[in-house]
Amino acid sequence: MTFGDRLHAAVADRGPLCAGIDPHAALLGAWGLGDDVAGLESFALGATEAIAPHVAVVKPQSAFFERFGSRGVAVLERVVATAREAGALVLLDVKRGDIGSTSQAYADAYLDPASPLAADAITASPYLGFGSLTPMVETARRHGAGLFVLALTSNPEGPEVQHATAPSGRTVAGTVLDHLGALNEGATTLGSYGAVVGATVGETGESFDIGGPLLAPGYGAQGGTVDDLRRVFGGAVGRVLPSTSRDLLRLGPDPVALRDGALRIADDLAGLAG
C-alpha cells in the first residue's frame, strides 16, 4: 500500500489527530524529569506508549532528540518502533531540504526501510526549489512512504518567502501546492504527498485541493480551533491532519490522562468535515 492508502485507512479507523512527541526541556521539567537522556527516554517512550494506540499519526520532532547526540537518536529509533508496534503511522518531523546526493542521503536515512530511523513519512523544506526534493519524492514512491512539504506556515517570518511571487506569477506557496497536486494525480484514495499549512494562517486565497493530506500544526494550545480549520481549508478540510503536542503532553506523566486526552481531542475532531 502507498502511504496515502495507509493514512486514509488509519484516519478512517482512528480519526485525523496527529500527536506530536516534542520532548523539550520545559516539558521534561513539568513531568519531574531531568533534562538528560534518561529524562528524554522516560518522557518520549511514556508518551508514545500511552498515545500511539489511539491516534492515526505520531509525529516525533527530531531536533529534541538530536540535541542529546547519538544517545538521543537511539531513543528516537525506539519511539519510531514503539509507535509502529501500536498501530500508528510515524511522521518524522525533520524538515530536511538539500540538493543532489545530500538530498538522497536524507531520503535514505528516513524513508528507506533498511534504516533504523525509517518512518512512514517525513516533513521536508522546498526552499532550494521544489525539484531539489526529487530524491525524496522518488525514494518515498519506491518504498511506499510519504512527504509533507512546507507550504504556508504560521510563524511570523514565513510570509516573506511563502507569499512572495514566483516568476510564473503564482505565490511561492501556491507553486509548492501546484507541485504537490501534480505528484498526487492518479491516487486512488489519498495521495502520498502532503502540504504543511498552519492551523492559524487565516484566509490565504490558495486552493488546498491537492489530492493529498494537509498537516495543520498549531491546533489546540497554539490557538487553532475546529472553526479555524474549516475557515482555512474550506472544502479540503476532510483531508486535514490537525497536529497538537502541548495540549496532550502537558497531561503527563500519567498514562491514563494522556490516553484520555488523546481520545478527547479525537472526539472534538470527529465532526471536522461535517
Q: Report the catalytic residues.
A: 95
**Cell numbers of 20, please?**
506530536
- d(CA 201, CA 163) in angstroms, rounded, equals 12
| Helix and strand counts by DSSP (H, E) for the chain | 12, 8
Task: Name the amino acid, one letter, at 45.
Answer: L
**Residue 21 burial (C-beta neighbours within 10 Å; 0-12, 13-18, 19+):** buried
Q: How far apart are CA 16 and CA 241, in angstroms?
A: 5
Residue of 242, 248, 272 lying closest to 260 (CA atoms): 248
H helices present in 86-224, as ranges: 100-111, 134-143, 159-162, 172-183
**What is the spatial distance between Cα 40 and Cα 243, in angstroms, rounded to a whole number?**
21
Which sign does the torsion angle of CA 156, 244, 64, 2 carry?
A: negative
